[in-house]
Structure 1
Amino acid sequence: MSDDEKAIRAFVQNWFEASKSGDIDAIVALMEDDAVFMSPGAEPFGRDAFKAMAAQMKHMRLDMQSDILEIKVLGDWAFFRSRLQVGVTPPGGKTLRRAGQTLTLLRKGADGAWRLARDANMLV
């Protein structure tokens, strides 16, 4: 496994840990300023909209699992495909589960860190 592949797998783990703990600033630090998210039935949205949605979910309990199917590194860009499962449980409520495929594009910064540039998830 290459150093870049290890770093990308660590990126995914860091994203999950920050999401589960509700650390919105840590999640945003893992994104490019011009990050774009795409999901079924919604218009693409950017980092600020993601941050606002994450703030609304801050008190939800998240359970996330990812099976990375492929990682390709192309210079300062990389992508990975994964099978993602997410469970969201509001305080005192029932768990809502979503699962599906994702395709994530990452860009490597001058500091050597990989950050999310584009993300398409097909969770249903």
Structure 2
Amino acid sequence: MLLAMESPTGPEEQSIREVHSTWIDAVNAGDLGCLLSLMADDAVFLYPGQEPFGREGFSANFGNAHQQLRIDCTSELEEVVVVGEVAYTRSRDALSVTQRSGGAATLLAGHRITIYREQPDGRWILVRGAHTLSPVEK
């Protein structure tokens, strides 16, 4: 098990940390193509108050959100666990969301768990994701 304050102990952990960082950068950039390249065809997402959804639902939700909102996400990895060709991460995330038309930012925070699967070429891709993001009281 790798906790956030420890340094990666192997190439798998380092690869997963890089995928996590690339994912957050792509969210902030609104780069749907990059995000899709980091997820499996059968990826499933679990978000509060919604039915589980896959790539198509993710694409629609993400595209609509970035058309209407400016999103700034930060994520602190708290745990990385690798077991063979499967791994998971647990992170603490914070989102600042502002309407593109203006106004005050809405702050969301919570935890996220992501499950990854190693591909034959050695890449790690997201297969399941769930978060508990909710509004932060001011």
Q: Same fold (TM over 0.5)?
A: yes
Q: TM-score, normalised by structure 1?
A: 0.94
**Out of 110, 115, 129, which is 1:119 matched to?**
129
> How many Å apart are 1:94 and its aligned residue?
2.3
Structure 1, residues 54-110: CA drift from partner, whole Å, max 9, x if none?
111224322111111111001110001111111112212321211111111001111
Residue in 1 aligned with 2:30? 22
Deviations 1:19-39 (A, max 9, x none): 111111111111000000001
Match of 2:89 in 1: 80
- Matched residue type, 1:122: T
Matched residue of 2:66: which SS?
coil
Cα distance between partner residues in 2 of 1:18 and 1:66: 13
CA distance in 2, matches of 1:29, 1:104: 15
Structure with the greater alpha carbon radius of gyration: 2
Higher deviation after alignment, 88-97 or 28-37: 88-97
- Provide the residue aligned with 2:61 in structure 1: 53
Tell me the residue number matched to 2:114.
104
Q: 2-side partners of 1:81 and 1:22: how far apart?
A: 22
Partner of 1:94: 104
* Counterparts of 2:111 and 2:105, CA distance in 1: 20
Corresponding residue pairs, total: 124
Identical columns (%): 39
**Unmatched 5+ stretches in structure 1:** none
SS at 1:14 equivalent: helix
Matched residue, 2:4: none
Question: Tell me, which stretches of 5 or more residues in structure 2 are unaligned?
Answer: 1-7
